[in-house]
Chains A and B, each alone.
Chain A
Amino acid sequence: MPAKKKFDAIVIGGGHNGLVNGAYLAKAGLSTLILERRHLVGGAAITEELHPGFSFTTFSYALSLLRPEIIHELELTKHGFMPLLMPSTFAPTEDGDYILLGQDKNENHHEISRHSPHDADAYDAYGHMMEQVVHAIRPLMDSIPPDITSKDPEERARMAAIGSYLADLPPGVLHDLIRLMTGSAADILEDYFESDLMQGLLASSGIIGTKVGPRSQGSGLVLLYHSFGEHDGAYGAWAFHKGGNGGFTQVLARAAESFGAEIRLESPVDHVITKNGRATGVVLEDGAELEAKIVVSAVDPRRTFMQLVDPRELPTDLVENIRRFKFQGTSAKVNFALDANPNYPGLEGRSDQYRGFINMGPSLDYLERAFDDAKYGWYSQKPYIDGCIQSNVDPDMAPPGKAVMSCFIQYAPYHLKESDWDTERDRFGDVVQKTLEGFFPGFGDLVLHREVVTPLDIERVVGLTEGNIFAGEFLAPQMFFFRPAPGWNQYRTPIEGYYQCGSGTHPGGCVMGAPGRFASQQILGDLEKKK
């Protein structure tokens, strides 16, 4: 049977948002094609066997922000959705001290008290503050923002409604929200905590994926964003999907297919066909033409507006805004196949500390110094590392008794001063390994295989511009009304029938799925209006 060439909708990019979007469109009855450039779907949320028996979450490695509505609306549990609890958080130091947090509030209290009785109490207060802010801001995150540039009375009314909503919040919650949205992670954390280790542990969520240090204004927003998620109703909790985040995107693919979407692998798109200001299909890199009245880009804003279509067809101000849109990827991964779990001095023979994140960033100073290197165009000589030995939670990830360790590394700026990432790859890997050795003496002896993933690799392999893991920085001028550009934050583009649904749109990155879902609502709404 010759491959079908005409569809109601074509989604460009089989990352998690493309899959979510395609699944919703197919569920609504549209004949939907999802085109993926690589040999597997998932984009940056993939799992690969890069060493025999060891499954690597090459890029993205944990789940939290996924909107619960998607789980239900796309019936993901029928297709193997299984977020596994990560019951611990381990914050080691280089001198053998640590904080090990678990699922029991009182035990955590005792553990933090070892470092500071003050912080043990503050931890509860801080947690409650964050929950209140998250609960308050959720309705805004979980809806399509108004168009701030629009004169349409309906949009104006929605703007006014946001104003009233915020005005109705308890004043303390509103103030905390503004502090988080505008301030630094350090400012907030120093208000609550006195111990270096607690400050470092919590501040790390304020820097992940973003070119800010914990003392930079704006890191509060990153901290807040990373708290939006949940695991089974526990706000801010992270989970590890069975089979890694690639296991999760396989679930999404099965769900999309169950609704009738077709997924074509190894089908890179060259450009979107436009006629008289509207999209009519796509041309693949091999020259094949596919027709559709709806074309959705799940790739980042730079590719959506500057590569897939001719920027000359777009308004100049949009082109200018996209040109200025900051990517500046600053993170890398170094993943390891290990002969066994690492040993931690003082916890010899134990592995329960490795059932969740392992936060190697023992103080604000440590994190800020790591950022210092990045400010001047170099990778951290002692980087922040978010480790995760997923085989302790999911035995499918490594052979029995062995371990697979994902290490998220920061800072690793995309643009290196006077060198490039292909040259620095191994030296960078060595820096990371040496840093790990500092926390886990003997770490190097356990390494069976090492996979260095530089920001350049992220760009080359996944297609994320400058290796930015969020498809665009989490900076206030690039969020909400402005993601990816004022006037174009509602998933439409100036080209009729051409939509955007990637993490470069509201609410943003992480394996959240909200952009894909909102874009489908917009597309289906527009189709309804045309009837």
Chain B
Amino acid sequence: MIRETPFHPRTSEANKTGLWSHWSGYLATDRYQMSDKFEYFAIRNSAAVIDTSPLYKYRIIGSDAERFLAGVLARDIRKCRPGQAHYTVWCDDDGWVVEDGVVLRHSDDEFLLTAAEPNMAFLQDLAGQMAVQIEDVSNDFGALALQGPYAREILKQLAPEMEEIGYFHLTPAKVGNAAVTISRTGYTGDLGYEIWVERDDAVGVWDTLFEVAAPYGVIPAGQTALLIARIEAGLVLIDVDFYSARYAWNDDQRTTPHELGLGWMLRDLASDDRAFIGRRAIERELADATSRWKTVGIMVDYEDWNRVFNERGVIPPKDHTPEHGGMMIYDEKLERIGYTPSFVYSPMAQRHVGIARVRPEHAALGTELSLEVTIDHRYDVVKANVSRLPFFNPPRKTA
């Protein structure tokens, strides 16, 4: 049966649309009010509260916890000090990405790993004889993201230590009477925090937070708003921008960290002596330059977009609803050279943008591409350019 997150008593009250989706087995609000775009603007201009509880959460604890994770995760967890967090991927032996997630390091011996898919067997089978315990605490904790420019000002009224907490750092804190962990993490590319709270305290934390936050125009935001923000932030999404290598049917469905634009996680590979899963394959990929793709941003030429729609006599659509599919990308000879798994009209960039996968020779910044669009069941192409990711990257995110 579908589960309810610890915040459900409040999210169900706030959800005026009756629209829910299923996220990792939990009910998640698509949009709370009739305008998901208004919720999106809360993220960019005040702050929005997003229930991110459905993520799988694994507590990894023990004297070998660091050693264990150092062998599983592609990014070197040894560099993540207690009180810090890492965004990371993990791979299979062939160097294909299995999944991505955030690790919070509470202490030398205790970590919390989040993931979109179940990973219990995968992790347990790798533990071997190591002194490490892996516990699925997914249902024990709620996670509430407060994302947006006012997030710090609001949160510091509840927990003054927020003033100091750096990007991808975390701290224990109290919200009202509830003991929580607050991490400066999120999925919006904006200034933001996530509050990790035990199930029984979740509703109290929601109420305490809104008491302070409501006068700032803070509202709960649903999945659609979050997904607009994440494309602008250039953050990839499983089952959209990539598939888990464990369940892919062929290598076309698999990607490597470098192909996924996450090569930066392995920047220090030369000086990193870990044996982690996929390492040899990744080294071979780099040595033989066998990466098939690069993940880039594409920005659509606004004039050309208007032109193709105007020529068909329709108003050029500028819809903020993310399109998760795969619009084809062509070069000047109309050879297919890639596709765009995530596409949206970005309110911040004021044009259509996409997270795209293109052949490496077409990935240079500014490269001109053609994007296939369908208008009234007919194909057409519009001009686009390779652009930097993220599309929106305010200094406040890390300041």
Interchain CA distance A107-B35 in the complex, whole Å: 11
Residues of B with C-beta under 8 A to A69: 303
CB contact under 8 A between A392 and B217, given known A68-B302, A232-B318, A232-B347: yes
Complex contact B38–A395 (CB within 8 A): no
- Chain B residues contacting A234 (CB-CB under 8 Å) are 318
Q: Which of A76, A102, A394, A395 contacts B34 (CB 8 A)?
A: A102
Q: Which residues of B contact A102 (CB under 8 A)?
A: 33-35
**CB < 8 Å neighbour of A82 from B44, B46, B150:** B44
B-contact bits for A330-370, CB 8 A (1 contact / 0 none): 00000000000000000000001001000000000000000
Q: Which of A88-117 contact B (CB under 8 A)?
A: 102-104, 107
Within 8 A of A (CB), among B278-329: 302-303, 315-320
Q: Does B275 contact A (CB under 8 A)?
A: no
Interface size class of A (residues with CB under 8 A): 20 to 34
Whether B350 lies near A242 (C-beta < 8 A) is no
**Are A85 and B35 in touch, CB under 8 angstroms?**
yes
- In the complex, the answer to whether A395 meets B150 with C-beta atoms within 8 Å is yes
A83 to B302, CA, bound (A): 17
Ordered nearest first, which 4 A-B pairs have the shortest CB separation? A233-B318, A400-B215, A401-B215, A104-B34
Per the bound structure, the CA–CA distance linking A72 and B319 in Å amounts to 18
Assuming the contacts A82-B348, A242-B45, asked whether A103 and B215 have C-beta atoms less than 8 A apart, the reply is no
Interface bits A59-71 vs B (CB < 8 Å: 1, else 0): 0000000001101
Measured between beta carbons, the chain A residues less than 8 angstroms from B316 are 233
A143 is an interface residue with CB less than 8 A from chain B: no
Min CB–CB distance B350 → chain A (angstroms): 5
Residues from chain A with a CB closer than 8 A to the CB of B242 are none
CB nearest neighbor in B for A394: B45
9 interchain pairs, CB-CB under 8 A: A68-B350, A72-B350, A84-B41, A87-B37, A104-B34, A135-B315, A232-B347, A233-B315, A400-B216
Across the interface, which residues of A come within 8 angstroms of B320, CB to CB? 232
Q: Tell me the smallest distance from the CB of B171 to a CB of chain A, in Å.
A: 24
Smallest CB separation, A85 vs chain B (Å): 5
Q: Would you call A496 an interface residue if the criterion is a C-beta within 8 Å of the partner chain's C-beta atoms?
A: no
Interface of chain B, main secondary structure:
loop
Chain B residues within an 8 Å CB radius of A393: 41, 217
| Closest B residue by C-beta to A68 | B302
Looking at chain A's contact residues, is the secondary structure mostly helix, strand, loop, or mixed? Answer: mixed
Bound together, the chains give a CA A399 to CA B41 distance in angstroms of 19
Q: How far is the CA of A396 from the CA of B46 in the complex (A)?
A: 8
The smallest beta-carbon distance between B156 and chain A, in angstroms, is 14
Q: Does A421 contact B (CB under 8 A)?
A: no
Within 8 Å of chain A (Cβ to Cβ): is B351? Answer: yes
B281, chain A: closest CB distance, angstroms? 40
Task: Tell me the nearest residue of chain B to A86, going by C-beta.
Answer: B38
Inter-chain contacts of B319 with A (CB < 8 A) = 233
Among the listed A71, A82, A352, which residue makes an inter-chain contact with B45, where contact means beta carbons less than 8 Å apart? A82
Q: Once the chains are docked, how many angstroms separate the CA of A76 from the CA of B35? A: 25
Give the chain A neighbours of B215 by CB distance below 8 A.
400-401
Where the two chains meet, the residues of B that have a C-beta atom closer than 8 Å to any C-beta of A are 33-35, 37-38, 41, 44-46, 150, 215-217, 302-303, 315-320, 345, 347-351
A residues less than 8 Å from B345 (CB atoms) = 232-233
Residues of A within 8 A of B35 (CB): 85, 87, 102-104
With A103-B34, A103-B37, A107-B34 already in contact, 10 other A-B pairs whose C-beta atoms are closer than 8 Å: A81-B350, A82-B348, A87-B33, A87-B35, A232-B350, A233-B319, A352-B33, A392-B217, A400-B215, A400-B216
Q: Which of A76, A242, A352 has the most CB of B within 10 A?
A: A352
Using known A-B contacts A232-B318, A232-B320, determine if residue A77 contacts B37 with beta carbons closer than 8 Å: no
Please determine whether A84 and B45 come into contact, CB atoms closer than 8 angstroms.
Answer: yes
A352 to B217, CA, bound (A): 10
Q: Which residues of B contact A192 (CB under 8 A)?
A: none
A233 touches B317 (CB 8 A): yes
CA distance A268 to B33 in the complex (A): 49
- B38 close to A72 (CB less than 8 A): no
Write out the residue numbers on chain B whose beta carbons fall within 8 Å of the beta carbon of A83.
347
Q: Find residues 50-65 in chain A having any chain B CB closer than 8 Å to their own CB.
A: none
What sequence of 0s and 1s flags, for each residue 120-136 of chain A, a beta carbon within 8 Å of any chain B beta carbon? Answer: 00000000000100010
Q: Which residue of B lies closest to A103 (CB)?
A: B35
Tell me which residues across on chain A come within 8 A of B351, comparing CB atoms.
Answer: 72
Q: Which residues of B contact A352 (CB under 8 A)?
A: 33
By the criterion CB–CB under 8 Å, are B38 and A355 in contact?
yes
CA distance A234 to B35 in the complex (A): 14
Q: Which residues of B are found within 8 Å of A7, using beta-carbon distances?
A: none
Q: Is there an interface contact between A395 and B46, defined as CB atoms closer than 8 Å?
A: yes
Q: A395, B217: Cβ atoms under 8 Å?
A: yes
B residues less than 8 Å from A232 (CB atoms): 318, 320, 345, 347, 350
Contact with B along A223-260 (1 / 0, CB 8 A): 00000000011110000001000000000000000000
CB–CB A87/B34 < 8 A: yes
Alpha-carbon gap, A84 to B302, bound state (A): 20
- Residue with the highest number of chain A CB atoms closer than 10 Å, among B44, B315, B317: B315
Smallest CB-CB separation from A391: which chain B residue? B217
Shortest A248–chain B CB gap in Å is 13
Neighbouring B residues of A71 by C-beta, 8 Å: 350
A401 CA / B208 CA spacing, docked (Å): 16
A135 to B38, CA, bound (A): 26
**Beta-carbon nearest neighbor of A340 in chain B:** B215
In chain B, what residue has the closest Cβ to A135? B315
Within the assembled complex, what's the spacing in Å between the Cα atoms of A520 and B351? 24
Q: Is the Cβ of A77 less than 8 Å from the Cβ of B350?
A: yes
Kindly identify which residue among A72, A391, A394 contacts B302, using a CB–CB cutoff of 8 Å: A72
Q: Which residues in A have their C-beta under 8 angstroms from that of B150? A: 395
Min CB distance B149 to A, Å, is 9
Complex contacts, B37 vs chain A, CB 8 Å: 85, 87, 103
The smallest beta-carbon distance between B240 and chain A, in angstroms, is: 23
The chain B residue with its CB closest to the CB of A402 is B215
Distance A355 CA – B217 CA, assembled complex (angstroms): 11
**Residue in A84, A135, A392, A401 with the greatest tally of chain B CB atoms within 10 Å:** A84
A12–B316 alpha-carbon span in the complex (Å): 36
Q: How far is the CA of A166 from the CA of B34 in the complex (A)?
A: 38
Residue of A nearest to B346 (CB): A77
Bound CA–CA A380/B351 (angstroms): 43
The one of A72, A85, A107, A233 that contacts B41, using a Cβ cutoff of 8 Å? A85
CB-defined contacts of A235 to chain B, threshold 8 Å: 315
- Distance in angstroms from B90 CB to nearest chain A CB is 36
Chain A residues with CB under 8 A of B303: 69, 72
CA–CA, A425 to B50, complex, Å?
48
Q: Return B309 CB to nearest CB of chain A, in Å.
A: 10
The CA-CA distance from A462 to B150 in the complex, in Å, is 34
B19 to chain A, nearest CB (A): 11
Chain A nearest CB, measured from B32 CB (Å):
11
User: Chain B residues with Cβ under 8 A from A68's Cβ?
Assistant: 302, 350
CB-CB < 8 A to B34: which residues of A?
A: 87, 102-104, 107
Closest to B316 in A: A233
Chain B hits for A87, CB < 8 A: 33-35, 37-38
Whole-angstrom distance between the alpha carbons of A131 and B150 in the complex? 37
Quote the shortest CB–CB distance from B320 to chain A (angstroms).
Answer: 7
Min CB–CB distance B39 → chain A (angstroms) = 9
Contact residue among B38, B46, B317, B348 (Cβ-Cβ distance under 8 Å from A103): B38
**Closest chain B residue, CB of each to CB of A138:** B310
Kindly report which residue of chain A lies nearest to residue B218, judged by CB atoms.
Answer: A395
As a 0/1 sequence over residues 381 to 404 of chain A, the CB contacts with chain B under 8 angstroms (1 = contact) are 000000000011111100011000
Write the chain A residue with the least CB distance to B46.
A395
Q: Which residues of A contact B46 (CB under 8 A)?
A: 394-395
**Who on chain A is nearest to B148 by CB?**
A395
The CA-CA distance from A529 to B185 in the complex, in Å, is: 57
Given contacts A87-B35, A395-B46, contact A131 B315 (CB under 8 A): yes
Separation of A104 and B31 alpha carbons in the complex (Å): 12
Contact A395 B216 (CB under 8 A): yes
Question: Which chain B residues border A72 with CB–CB below 8 Å?
Answer: 302-303, 350-351
- A242 CA / B217 CA spacing, docked (Å): 14
